[in-house]
A and B are shown apart, each in its own frame.
Chain A
Amino acid sequence: MLTQAPKKPSAASPKAGRPRHAMSGTGGRTAALFLTPFFTIFALAMVAPVIYAMVLSFFAQQKSGLGFGEAKTAFVGLENYLQAMQSDSFVSGIGRLVLYCVLYIPCMVGGALAFALLLDAAAARARKLFQLMVFLPHAVPGVIAALIWAYLYTPGVSPIVSVLETGGISLNFLDNQMVLPSIVNIAVWEWTGYNVIVLFTALQAVPREILEASRVDGAGEIRAAISIKLPLILPAVSVIMLFTVIGTLQLFTEPSIISKATASVTSTWVPNMWAYDAAFNRHNLNQAAAASIIIALMAAVLSWTVTRFSSRNKA
């Protein structure tokens, strides 16, 4: 979220003109000096790999015959992109991500909104304690969270599964039907707390006069929450949606860890895992680069759509 740079004051005395010029000159140079380290590291660590990946994605290693000779690097244009899009596992991985979003976003955003509005309610007690408890799961690193939940899902090891068994319910959280909701559950557990904080902060910016006016008009807590607070924090909700969509496209950690515990999660279950498999198992770096660029383009298109949608709402 970039804030607008403060506009220069239009009214200026002629005397202040020259020193202002001189000041902005030195200010510009000093700023450049301080910014150089950032831009150098940014160029090396963020921009250069992207350009290298784009270059890689247009080439391929060609072998011939038995394949024991030297491989030739040949320019193949969009061949790698076509191979990725024609691969069943890549396309079904994208379909799986769509399904994941359909399950995940309503649950997580709905849950975060509910918690934030409850925390903000006038009748809320022990607000700080509940804020901490809701945020605590987010403090657990993603890999650790996935490992913990893998244990909680594994039959024979999990207390939850054995308690359900004694109650007569035989649930396999890791079979083909249940594994996607199970992974959605891990992500909801991890991220709801974080988004509660974002929404709660947005709620603090709601002017108290409006709420008082609504109370005078006879609105109860729930009515005030739904009709007044919710519309006023919609910008924050759209920001959350943007970050969530981008994050979902990069889903990797949870499926990778769960794939060790069950055969339902294959090694190419989501597009990011497909790219990892192409690069490090099949040693086809060019195809992996093409897949990564495709994922990045999808993220760009989706972010643009979400931003347009939310800015049109604002207007």
Chain B
Amino acid sequence: MKRRQLLLGAVSLMASAALVAGCGSTPAATPTPTPVEDPTGTITFWSSMAGMDKVAAAFNASQSKIKVIFETIPNGGAGGYAKLSTAITAGNGPDVATIEYPQLPQFVSNGQLQPLDAFINKAETVDKLTDQTKALVQFGDSTYALPYDAAPMIMWYRKDMLDKAGVGVPKTWQDFEEAGKKLKAVAPEAHLASFNPNEAALTAALAWQAGAKWFGTEGDSWKVGVNDEATEKVANYWQKLIDQKIVKVQQSFSDEWSADLASGAVVGVLGANWSATGIQKRTEASGQKGQWIAAEVPNWGSPADAFYGGSSFNITKSSKNPAAAAKFIEFLATSKDAISARGNTGSAFLAYPGLTPVAQKTFDSSYFGNDIYSVFNQAYATITPGWQWGPNWDITNTALKDAYGKLTNGGKVLEAVNSAQGATVAGLKQNGLSVKE
């Protein structure tokens, strides 16, 4: 009798569980976009960028038809994209999200974003962007995002350490290596920069600067060239720097990196315009005010640069009010009030014309030794055209980061790049995409 009861109980348990599992989540069908003249409603906005709460508040104050509820989430590397992707799949994602350019094609190809075309004034927004910026947010004839910042890769140096080594600001990568050697001669414990194994996007930017094209489309297939010639050149060069200990292999944004910046063990940061706040926070306590300068990244002979980072705003599939979301995105990406509302945060360099001077005025760059925004402007003018991100950046990102883990154990940058190529092609093919090498 007891055993039968137990069996009955177990069977009913399984049955009820199966029923519950049966109501599994199926993604909601995309609502057909209908242009709404005067959108109203309440929308949610997720972002990890500092100061966005003030921008949302400014939008709410400027009009009464749309109310924006802001929620801060961890940045991408710390699980922000995992949280966003899971929420959208489960059906309770935000209306407006912030996604960086490398990850954008992945969200589009997973069907997690709604195209903006039907809801925005294209002439006033998308059509005013440069071709390179447009290429980052348009896929298959639809616009999936409005870009926020266009972040040129920037090199930051301690001017006093460069002076101590007796070198000027390096113009070419050759100069950079020479400067590194001279620095080692006068300060053996110091490194000219760090090589960050956790920043695969930086490797991509360096390859982009050198003219590489990791991802491209040929008809209906992807062409993947993570280890093409230009990237090989970059990989071998940085391996030389690592071997000569001119750069220190360490994770960016780790405690070790912060400690080294403060103590002077690392005197240069290869970052972007947005690195300014991070450098200031980590070094002002050790009295380095006025010693940090921004400079154009060293090049291979003629001025060239690439985007490193940069975010865009999107409407997710979970949004039930895409018209209102689009209005807010237009405000975020193109309105001067949005930039000044953000206040003194994150030395932003905006994609939409006319906004960068506003950002420059609101950001207090007195900590730095030169006019960082004029450097940003110069760098922006030399961006190498023709770069495209692939349909699943995470496969390449993870493969590179994992391979870089072997760098302190005899691994080489070139090996890492080659293994990333293999992993990317295999991973994309596993998802059913057609890939050419």
Residues of chain A having any CB pair with chain B under 8 Å:
28, 39, 42-44, 47-49, 51-52, 55, 61-68, 70-71, 83, 89, 150-151, 154-157, 175-177, 260-268, 277, 279-285
Q: Are B255 and A157 in contact (CB under 8 A)?
A: yes
Given A66-B222, A175-B408, 8 other A-B residues pairs in contact with their CB atoms under 8 A:
A47-B13, A64-B434, A66-B217, A70-B111, A156-B255, A176-B409, A263-B249, A281-B394
Instruction: Output the least CB separation between B257 and chain A (Å).
Output: 9
Given A43-B16, A48-B20, A283-B106, residue A62 in contact with residue B432 (CB < 8 A) = yes
Report the bound CA distance from A61 to B256 in whole Å.
41
Contact with A along B357-398 (1 / 0, CB 8 A): 000000000000000000000000000000000011011011
Task: Indicate which residue in A43, A65, A71, A261 contacts B13 across the interface (CB closer than 8 Å).
Answer: A43
Smallest Cβ-Cβ distance to A39: which chain B residue: B13
Q: A residues within 8 A CB of B263?
A: 156
Q: A residues within 8 A CB of B124?
A: none
Q: Are B434 and A65 in contact (CB under 8 A)?
A: yes
Instruction: Output the least CB separation between B266 and chain A (Å).
Output: 10
Given A157-B255, A281-B82, A282-B427, residue A47 in contact with residue B17 (CB < 8 A) = yes
Q: Are A263 and B432 in contact (CB under 8 A)?
A: no
Given A66-B217, A154-B256, A176-B409, residue A51 in contact with residue B401 (CB < 8 A) = no
Q: Are B430 and A63 in contact (CB under 8 A)?
A: no
- Is residue B353 within 8 Å, beta carbon to beta carbon, of the partner chain? no
Given A266-B401, A282-B398, residue A83 in contact with residue B391 (CB < 8 A) = no
Contact with A along B140-162 (1 / 0, CB 8 A): 10000000000000000000000
Report the bound CA distance from A202 to B293 in whole Å.
66
Report the bound CA distance from A83 to B82 in whole Å.
22
- Is residue B42 within 8 Å, beta carbon to beta carbon, of the partner chain? no
* Residues of B286-332 contacting chain A, CB below 8 A: none
Closest 6 pairs (CB-CB, A-B) = A280-B82, A263-B197, A266-B402, A156-B259, A47-B17, A176-B409
* Residues of B399-437 contacting chain A, CB below 8 A: 401-402, 404-409, 427-428, 430-434
Q: B residues within 8 A CB of A67?
A: 109, 222, 391-392, 428, 431-433
Q: B residues within 8 A CB of A175?
A: 408-409
Residues of chain B having any CB pair with chain A under 8 Å:
5, 9, 13-14, 16-18, 20-21, 24, 79, 81-82, 85-86, 89, 106, 108-111, 139-140, 197-198, 217, 220-222, 249, 251, 254-256, 259-260, 263, 265, 391-392, 394-395, 397-398, 401-402, 404-409, 427-428, 430-434
The main secondary structure of chain B at its interface with chain A is helix
Q: A residues within 8 A CB of B221?
A: 65-66
Smallest Cβ-Cβ distance to B410: which chain A residue: A176
Report the bound CA distance from A285 to B398 in whole Å.
17
Q: B residues within 8 A CB of A65?
A: 220-221, 433-434
Q: Are A61 and B17 in contact (CB under 8 A)?
A: no
Smallest Cβ-Cβ distance to A277: which chain B residue: B398
Q: Are A283 and B259 in contact (CB under 8 A)?
A: no
Q: A residues within 8 A CB of B222?
A: 66-67
Task: Indicate which residue in A55, A64, A277 contacts B432 across the interface (CB closer than 8 Å).
Answer: A64
Q: Are A263 and B16 in contact (CB under 8 A)?
A: no
Instruction: Output the least CB separation between B194 and chain A (Å).
Output: 12
Instruction: Output the least CB separation between A25 and chain B (Å).
Output: 11
Given A63-B433, A156-B263, residue A263 in contact with residue B398 (CB < 8 A) = no
Report the bound CA distance from A177 to B84 in whole Å.
35
Instruction: Output the least CB separation between A215 and chain B (Å).
Output: 47
Q: B residues within 8 A CB of A277?
A: 398
Report the bound CA distance from A39 to B198 in whole Å.
45
Q: B residues within 8 A CB of A156?
A: 255-256, 259-260, 263, 265
Task: Indicate which residue in A51, A64, A280 contacts B433 across the interface (CB closer than 8 Å).
Answer: A64
Smallest Cβ-Cβ distance to B196: which chain A residue: A263
Q: List 18 A-B contacts (CB under 8 A).
A: A43-B17, A44-B17, A49-B21, A51-B18, A55-B24, A63-B433, A66-B221, A66-B391, A67-B433, A83-B430, A154-B259, A155-B256, A156-B256, A176-B408, A263-B407, A263-B408, A280-B86, A285-B89
Given A43-B13, A55-B21, residue A282 in contact with residue B394 (CB < 8 A) = yes
Instruction: Output the least CB separation between B358 and chain A (Å).
Output: 35
Q: A residues within 8 A CB of B402?
A: 89, 266-268
Q: B residues within 8 A CB of A66?
A: 109, 140, 217, 220-222, 391, 433-434
Given A67-B391, A262-B251, residue A281 in contact with residue B14 (CB < 8 A) = no
Task: Indicate which residue in B21, B251, B395, B408 contacts A282 across the interface (CB closer than 8 Å).
Answer: B395
Given A64-B433, A66-B222, A280-B85, residue A263 in contact with residue B109 (CB < 8 A) = no
Instruction: Output the least CB separation between A61 and chain B (Å).
Output: 7
Report the bound CA distance from A150 to B401 in whole Å.
19
